[in-house]
């Protein structure tokens, strides 16, 4: 699976829905892609928080 074309929200959705025990390779690839784009992830989370103070987005690894 190539996650490089996924948007930040798509990566987060994939991470929250993946069964890391059934698909450990895919789970690790997701984590790797998020780490590569850490600055973008941090930026996206900040912007989302600023736009809607009622939403809390949590990245669970």
Domain ranges of the chain: 8-51
User: Given this model, what pLDDT does residue 61 score?
Assistant: 46
On whether the pTM is more than 0.75, the answer is no
What is the Cα 13 distance to its own chain's centre? 7
DSSP 55: -
Q: Report d(CA 52, CA 14) in Å as an integer.
A: 22
Crossing angle for the helix pair 24-36 and 8-17, nearest 10 degrees?
150
- Give me the tens of pLDDT residue by residue for the chain, a chain 61 residues long: 899 999 888 988 898 888 989 999 998 998 888 888 887 777 666 545 455 444 445 555 4
């Amino acid at each position: 699976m190539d996650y490089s074309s996924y948007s930040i929200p798509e990566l987060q959705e994939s991470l929250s829905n993946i069964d890391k025990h059934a698909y450990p390779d895919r789970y690790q690839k997701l984590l790797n892609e998020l780490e590569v784009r850490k600055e973008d992830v941090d930026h996206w989370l900040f912007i989302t928080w600023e736009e809607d103070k009622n939403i809390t987005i949590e990245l669970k690894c």
